[in-house]
């Protein structure tokens, strides 16, 4: 097996930790718990993009998908510890009341509201813009 990058080693460690704690599941986290160590190793290598069973392009895509999942807090470990994206916003000071996580007007308009304004003004390329890009386009 070729040497792994630091990111790949970290992913393998996380997956094996999930296996050890009994949290690792098959089928994108929806299936039964993994009880076989060899299967856990196969899942770890697949998620880290260092398996010899797939092409380098597929391995790269797998690692990118896994890193995205880790950033969003969608791993079994993060969900168990409550490290979801919603929890991080609460920790930063956003109030979570009946408004669905948004304070009255402190956060500003939503992306949907900005998109609607851009549609009414006929701004080109609005469907591919982020919230920040929509705000910039509307301010001009």
12, 4 Cβ separation under 8 angstroms: yes
pLDDT of residue 103: 52
pLDDT of residue 85: 47
Instruction: Give this prediction's pTM.
Output: 0.52
Contacts of 81 (CB under 8 A, 6+ apart): none
User: What is the residue-level pLDDT of the chain in tens, covering all 140 positions?
Assistant: 467 888 888 889 988 998 998 888 888 777 899 999 999 999 889 888 888 888 889 988 988 888 888 888 877 777 777 755 444 455 555 444 555 555 545 568 899 999 999 999 999 999 999 999 999 999 88
pLDDT of residue 83: 58
78, 97 Cβ separation under 8 angstroms: no
| N-term to C-term CA, the chain | 54
And the tokens for 131? 């919230």
């Amino acid at each position: 097996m070729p040497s792994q990058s630091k990111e790949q080693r970290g992913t393998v460690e996380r997956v094996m930790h999930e296996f050890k704690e009994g949290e690792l599941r098959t089928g994108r986290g929806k299936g039964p718990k993994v009880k076989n160590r060899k299967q856990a190793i196969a899942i770890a290598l697949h998620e880290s993009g260092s398996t010899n069973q797939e092409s380098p392009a597929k391995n790269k895509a797998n690692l990118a998908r896994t890193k995205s999942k880790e950033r969003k807090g969608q791993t079994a470990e993060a969900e168990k510890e409550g490290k979801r994206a919603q929890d991080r916003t609460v920790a930063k000071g956003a109030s979570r009341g009946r408004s669905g996580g948004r304070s009255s007007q402190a956060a500003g308009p939503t992306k949907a509201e900005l998109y609607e304004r851009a549609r009414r003004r006929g701004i080109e390329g609005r469907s591919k813009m982020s919230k920040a890009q929509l705000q910039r386009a509307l301010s001009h």
